[in-house]
Structure 1
């Protein structure tokens, strides 16, 4: 069960004395955090709630609040937000002495204070403080979900929202959202407001969900491969008018062509799709989405490894020349696109 599903059972009445919300799936973590605060009835104007942003607050203020008595109830809720000191994040906000003081508090907590900690990221298990939290806290960890977990969660959520998807429309939603938790959640809200009858087609997803920069770069790549130069120029002009910089566009295209190249190499070595996911996961340090591999295989059909390598070289050269001020950015980017188009089949 996903952490966000498990945490849906929390209320102010059953909230544990010590609760920790953490995890490296940023999208799920943020949705879970907002959901939990709503479930426990958090109100900044309510004196029985105390909220501290650990990036900004003085620890003395936190410590004083933890041990002070509640005003109008038997218990009060103390919320420590962005507690990055217990994660593997390099940034630190508390001193060693302050962390030691917090450890001492956890060993002997106030019976009238319930403590809620939000710490986005991966817990630093080497820290004694984290070991204490793992021992004593109820922990909800937003781990990066598997594809089937994302499907199951959002299919349930869609049903609750009264949405019914045609054929492959739900798959289209997941792909369009990049299988990112927060993006899927946001796009479901778009669809809910767009189609009042709740019946969602693939065309609805195209019309209702705004194109991302990644979508536009994918379209640009396809136009270049099809040698539709005028349309590619129009798209680049639209993107730059929207404030996108050529260096950023090149970086995204490079990522796309690098994935194409990696997939092509693995395919020529005889690997299957599932083996490619594992191999790229080992190389990248994280498992790529299987759909990325599936579509990369489809898009590289008919493209040679030499062409992909040349395309990467053209983009890197353009990036270097832009950064060293050889010529105007728009000229160098357009030249790289023309070089790629001239080499495509």
Structure 2
């Protein structure tokens, strides 16, 4: 199994396989990679005759077989894409013939004609989902590509490419700031960049533009919550908590993000005490440079002992949330008060 970056490198080197199984949360990146493979492999003048696309919720094996076996016209290759191939999920109800379809495809991929490139992709239901057993079974017979979330410098590099593709330059500081504010989902990234480009027209993008057009994301909310805790302002932290919960985010998810924030702070605190450079921390922790700066400053408000104690309180709250009785919101409010008075 390879990742998005390795796939991009292979495409650039014309190292293109006959069968790809793609999966992940970022459908936009999958579609981009498919377009790049198409441009590299199929004669653009005869693309409509050598490119077949099928809906994974309705496709039959015979459709795939007929398309793959058809000899390309005025091109060395033809390409067949099955999008939203829900039958690749272990819990698939999207295609009533899922089991039969998987078995037939499994047998066929080993003998697929050399003139054909077959690509099937499945979009995860959420960012935490992992490649299914069905997908992993194809790993030795096809090129399986997991489109995990891009992080750190990889995410920043991709975002910059999108700005450039729109004919828009953005300064390094503004790019870092944008990446720290936008949700890590390429569909959303494209929409937000489009809004910024339309809003700023020919002038340079500023941090004020980004603040004006982008909605605060969950990471910002959690950072603000922890910041209020560090300032011993539990009432303000609880206000932020109420805003997050009003958005429909569950207590367990909020607690997970708070724990993650403290774990990152502990890693940064230890790194700074060991005189590791900011660049090293960014690389090791896969952080956006702007976020790393903010967290280094935030760490100055906490001792290592206080961070460890905060994590202990979070773990105790996690146990309480898993119990049946009690109001989750009340337990989160108690957590914030306990963290603020350490």
Question: TM-score when scaled to structure 1?
Answer: 0.68
Deviation at 1:217, TM superposition (A): 1.1
| Whole-angstrom CA distance in 2 between matches of 1:187 and 1:101 | 42
Matches within 5 A, 1:53-68: 53=55, 57-67=59-69
User: Can you list the C-alpha shifts for 1:32-73, whole angstroms capped at 9, x where unaligned?
Assistant: 15755997899xxx8975323557644344224433579xx7
Query: Is the Cα–Cα contact under 8 Å of residues 21 and 121 in structure 2 kept in the other structure?
Result: yes
What is the DSSP-based 3-state SS (H/G/I as helix, E as strand, rest coil) of the residue aligned with 2:324?
coil
What is the DSSP-based 3-state SS (H/G/I as helix, E as strand, rest coil) of the residue aligned with 1:199?
coil
Residue matched to 1:52: 54
Q: How many residues align?
A: 313
Query: Is the Cα–Cα contact under 8 Å of residues 196 and 213 in structure 2 kept in the other structure?
Result: yes
Structure 2: 5+ residue runs without aligned partners? 93-97, 123-129
Query: Is the Cα–Cα contact under 8 Å of residues 56 and 82 in structure 2 kept in the other structure?
Result: yes
| Whole-angstrom CA distance in 2 between matches of 1:151 and 1:201 | 17
Question: TM-score when scaled to structure 2?
Answer: 0.69
Superposition CA RMSD, Å:
4.7
Residue matched to 2:182: 177
Residue matched to 1:129: 141
Distance verdict in 2 for CA 1:295–1:180, change over 3 Å: farther
Structure 1: 5+ residue runs without aligned partners? 11-15, 135-139, 282-286
Distance verdict in 2 for CA 1:200–1:80, change over 3 Å: same
| Whole-angstrom CA distance in 2 between matches of 1:77 and 1:305 | 56
Residue matched to 1:213: 218
Deviation at 1:209, TM superposition (A): 1.0
Deviation at 1:299, TM superposition (A): 1.7
Instruction: Name whichever of 329-338 and 265-274 sits farther off.
Output: 265-274
Distance verdict in 2 for CA 1:25–1:269, change over 3 Å: farther
**Pairing 1:237–2:239 present:** no
**Pairing 1:100–2:98 present:** no
**Pairing 1:190–2:202 present:** no
Deviation at 1:255, TM superposition (A): 0.9
Deviation at 1:95, TM superposition (A): 4.7
| Whole-angstrom CA distance in 1 between matches of 2:324 and 2:155 | 45
Query: Is the Cα–Cα contact under 8 Å of residues 230 and 302 in structure 2 kept in the other structure?
Result: no
| Whole-angstrom CA distance in 1 between matches of 2:105 and 2:21 | 21
User: Can you list the C-alpha shifts for 1:290-313, whole angstroms capped at 9, x where unaligned?
Assistant: 635554333211411221111112
Instruction: Name whichever of 297-306 and 153-162 sits farther off.
Output: 153-162
